[in-house]
Structure 1
Amino acid sequence: MQRHSLEFYRSIVGNSMDLVSVIDAEGKFLFVGESVKTVLGYEVEELEGASAYSFIHPDDLPDVLATMAELLTSGKGKSALFRHKSRDKGWRWIECNATNMLENEHVQGIMTSSRDVTEARQLLYEKEYHQAYYESLFFEHPHAVFTLHTSGKFRQVNQHMETITGYSEHEALTISYSAMVHPDSLAAANEAFQKVLAGKALTVEICILTRAGEEKDITVSLMPVYFAGQLQGVQGIAKDITEANKAKRLIQEQAQQLNTILESITEPFYVLDSHWRFTFVSAAFASFMNRSREELTGQVIWELFPKGVSTRFYQVCQEVSRQKTAVHFEETFRTPYPCTLYFTLYPNKDGISVHFVDITQQKRTEREIEKLSFVASKTINGVVIMDPECRIEWVNDGFCRLTGYSREEVLGRVPSDFLQGTDTDPEVAKRIRSKYSSLQPFSEEVLNYKKCGEKLWFYIDVTPIFDQFGNLANYIALETDITEKKEAEVRLLKLADDLYKQNRDLQQFTYIISHNLRAPVANALGLAQLVQRLPKDAEPYDTALEKLHASVQELDAVIKDVNNVLSIRDSGRVSPRETVYLQEVCEEVLEQFAGELEHHHAQVNVAIDPAYWLSSIRAYLHNILHNLISNALKYKAEERTLELTIKAEQDARGYVLTVIDNGTGLEEHVVQHQLFQLYKRFHPNTHGKGIGLFLVKTQVEALGGKIKVESAPNQGTTFTIYLGAKNVQ
């Protein structure tokens, strides 16, 4: 082999693109190739004899020293990457390969071959830097980021993909995007994908189905991915906009509802911006101004209505715009026609909103009502003004005088709630409520009560009042005190009832005279004439005299009966009342019949609360029970033991006293009209005069009560006596 000269090797080393050098074990340069000037800018003489370590970046020196230590120990070649100071004070990245040739007699040092890799290192850094940015953008992006094959299958997804779709990374990488898209959005998704494959980046909004089958709205930004001029796939970013769409739809619905509400407002309404231009005009306002909405929208209100600047309305508009507070007020205008408007002005974000109501007719009505109220306050009758719910808005002094209530006590109350009471007829009250609901004028008589509890009869005349729209505005009631008239009617009815009873009594007395008195009188007259013709010592004379005496006795008994009836009727009206306990009277009467009841083995049941008492005539109650118990014994059934029940119960009007027996009974429908008449008897085989039940009925009515009877043959009889509330204390 040809051996080359030393100059040959020096030329090769000196012209090499790599820097060749030799350093000793301590790191001093023993030899430096000529290329050092090209690589680092130094002259050879500047480095030879200098320490190589002094030119290495302090941050890289520890690694270089460690590599050198390994090289000295192992004797094998080593590589190191470090920054070396250049002559212009900059740092260059050097890739150095070192070989331990300390034992080589020709070298006796460590040979290094170094290459400047600064540009390559910078390119690598930039690549890693951009890769880090890409990975951060891909994996740490707050939305779902993914890449697709040109076939549409997922190639890579970030962690947020599962949050939106419910598919894990592993599951997503096994399917195509079309598997997630809702059928209704599939056509739009496919079209967008094809456009991206054609090189167009775009954003599309679609609906997907999550792994659980839930529908979600998403917006997807898609872009093609190229490498080396070839389309490699598609990258996308998906954002869940389900809630945003819901909110958007809700806002749209609310906006539509608001617009519907504004359009449905029957009163005029409009909105002005900060430059006093109409931004919204309701149909009602356009109609009120007799202009179209297009004519008004966008126009400045003060230019359209220049006379408005001299009104209070103009001043209030300025105030609301400046102070941002709502204001309510009314103003009367003379043009184009006299009218009074009630305004509500309130600020909004960009201006003010105006709502007003034409209260012209209302003001007229109020003035009329004021006049009517003045007149009504002076009338002696009661005048009541009520709202549509019948709550009192105003009463005159006459009402206060009649009822005893002050105006403050009744305002806001419904008259029937505090005027009607216990004896107010429920049917009348119901009829009045019904007439109010009919919205027609009506009249009625009703029993009311004053504040002190005194009864007060009113004749009420009610008229409904309607506003200009036909809506019920008020009721006006005129109330006239007819208490005296009603009391007179009651007295007339009482008088008529008394006359009826007296007439009935006269009929009874006529019957007595024509039947019970006529016979004994006729007998007495005939016997008197006969006695006058008979000799006193003859036997027929004594017989005739005895018969005359019997006729006179019969006549006397009838007269006593008539006198008894009359005394009962008269004394019932004037006799003083006393406290009477029902059970106590009953026990007294039963005690009188104790022997007879025991003789007949009668079963007596008394069900009267010892606390039941009333203010009454004790003798009458005693006689009533005496007659009824006597009849129960007199007309008991022979074939069964007498069962007698006496009970008392309270009802709304007082007490109900009942006497029940299981005696022979009567054909009720046959005798019901004659049962309580004088001298009527229905058991010819039983001794009696036919006056007992007549006296019972007379005494019950004298106490202000009523009596009724229920009876059936061989079943028994029930007498029910109603004692009115005026007897109960």
Structure 2
Amino acid sequence: MNHPLLTQVIEALPDPVAVFDTQLRLVTVNNAFSEESSRHLGFALRAGDSLRQLMDLHPNLASQSMHVWQAALSGERVDFELAYGHPPLRYKISCSPLYNDQQEVFQVMMVIRNVQAETEVRENERFYRSVLENLPVGLQEFTPDGWHRNMNGAQRAILGPEHAANNRPYNVFEDPINRRSGLTALLDEVKQQKAPVKREVLFRYTEIHDENVTRIQPMYYEITGFPVLDLQGDVTCLFIILSEITEKKLAVLSLEKSERLLHTIVENLPVGYIQFDNFGFIRRVNQTQRRFFASTGLEEQPDSNLVQDPFARLFELDQLFLQVLQRGKMVRLEKKLAFQVHNGAGKIDREIFLDLTMFPVEDPVDKDQIVVALVKDITEKKRQELESTKIQESLIQTGEIGKIGGWELDMATRALRWSGQTYKIHELPPYATMTLEKALSFYEPESRERVEQAVAACMSRGKAYDLQVTIQTARNNTLQARVIGKPEYRNGRIVRIYGVIQDVTEQFRIRNQLTRNAELMRLFFDTIDMGYAVMDKDGKVNFINRKAQEIVDHGKVIGRNIFEVFPSLVGSTFHARVQQCIEAQAPVSFSNYLPQPDKWYEFLLAPMQDGSISIFTRNITDSKKMQRELRKANEQLSSLNKFLVNQNKQLEDFAHITSHNLRAPIANLKALMQIMNETADEQEREMYRGMFQEVIRNIDETLNDLIEIVQIRKDLNVERETLAFSDRLQKVKDILLVDMETSAIRLTADFTEAPHIEYPRIYLDSILQNLLTNAIKYRSHERPPSLHLKSKVVEGGIMLTAEDNGLGIDMERYGAKLFGFRKTFHKNKDAKGIGLFITKTQIEAMGGSIHAESQLGAGTKFIITFRPE
């Protein structure tokens, strides 16, 4: 190669160039090389200098370059990059061997090029590509015509691996799915406006698999489209950014749906709904309330102010509103409104009763307090209360004198249980051990066969039965009874058969007597000194006895209409009573004075099953004198009824005590049995046998107490005796031993101030047991349970307090129902809602009182006041 020519080429190159020989001496260098070496080394390397100077000054640089120089001298063309300088710059160094005529390497040309800018561009490009690739939102690029160019990983995940953009040329404007979703329209708008456009669209659907169920869920995205413009303002490419908002969108849709649902619920509430703002102006009224306004004649005034309205102020509704608004608590009460309304004929007096509930609500947007009023018209309910009370009293008396007892047969254990009345019907002592075979032995042979067949059919096929049978009681008395049995199912299986038995001996005798004397009665009606006739509902007389014929003093009446025979009866009291009897289908009795014969007659109209009416009449002129005696007899009958009501109440009370107080010890027996069966240690089993004896002894004691109290005459008070609180509490602890150990409850008592009380023993045991059972049942799992009992003398009486640290009760919500029958306030599976009802009944029966103080999550305190003897 010609050296002058090489020198000219090297000098013309803009990059630093040097040629060195096999001894690393510089043969030729250009100005750029000299200037670069001077800038970095502090002196210029020129032809004749050795590269070893560079190696001595910068060993690190030499270590990076020596192997490259050696490789070039061996005949290889080598390119490499290195960082040099302060701050370090990236250089690309190319070493090319030069050959002599013998094709031997005798020199190497080294070209040095600064690639710092190129390196930064590449690194920036990699950085931005990495950022875009890892964005949490989808990013996709299109040509102005809609052809797909590129997209990041998030967008590929959104579209899915099967999407056309991943596999072949794809035009976003030609995809029909994009036209339906609105993406096409969005990009058209971006192109037209040359500005970003943002929309929320339903972009696609996805499958959600839940076990064996696959659900299709819409996927909502917020799509932002924007253009990239060149210097002339033309669109060079289009971008879209997709951000998933499915959860947010579904929440918004759910909220809108909930709002619509709430509006529908409020509008269709069966009670009136009125919403007031914090100034008292009506803001909303539902259709039930609008109908109420229309039915009462009151005018609906949606813009009226409750605080200033004279009608509202008259009935103190403005005070209720202010009370709810200021205290922030619900108020519920019954309100009587008496007012006048105008109609076409004038003013009409109206009286209505309202069940009114007002409570505060915070406006979620403005944070203002609003008041909602729920209005229920209970006028008709109030009017029916008296009638309902009378009907209820009649039903109670009917049940008391009905002589009806209950029974049940457990299918698993074949255990038979009788109520106290059932034992009484069979003339057995209460709660004697009873089996199915023993129960069947009381039936006469023919009746027993029928009952056995009915019970077997009920057990096997679930067939209910209703039989009339003959029973031979334990005292050899023969009774006629009605036996009813029904199955009870649980999970498709019969778990027990239950029913009633009723002593119908008296009814049976009456029915037989009526059958035997049917003909005698016909003769009787003709011989008694009482008129009797049978008339259909149209007034046609079908039968009239001799006495009635004498009273009417008329020719043939049978087969004729009585109102045609005696036109004067039309519109009379007799006529009105006949219509009343027909409409009510109930007996009607009345007396009427007949001026012409100057006599009083008493009539009894009774409806018959065939629609006819029996008419009884008799001369009561003389009997008027006997009214006083009759009134006295009625008073005696009333006293007897009250006695029977009281008797049944006590029997029901004892039945509740039995059912409730025996449940806990029996549960302890079951628990002890299970524990004893699971242990193999004979010593432990012997210990549990001792526990069995103690629990059974207490059960036996309770049963004996119940039997003794049941046998006391019902018109006497339950016998009181001097009792020590500590002794009775010890008995209860023995009964509930297993429950106390299982719950680890800490029981403390302080009876020093009032250690004794005159009280029925069975009642006091029941009260203490209920208090302890409640503390165990409703204990908090956040702290060890505890119960503290304390007695003291208060105003001549004795007060007992029981304070636990359990779950507590929301008194504002449940305080009024706390001692109600079968009322529960926790989700405890063992809660029956009867313990506190029995306790309150026992305490009040003895003239005492009980109330509670409680706070949710902070325990409950019961305060019992015993009335002194």
Q: TM-score, normalised by structure 2?
A: 0.35
Q: TM-score, normalised by structure 1?
A: 0.40
Instruction: Report 1 or 2 for greater relative contact order, CA contacts < 8 Å, sequence distance ≥ 6.
Output: 1
Which structure has the bigger radius of gyration? 1
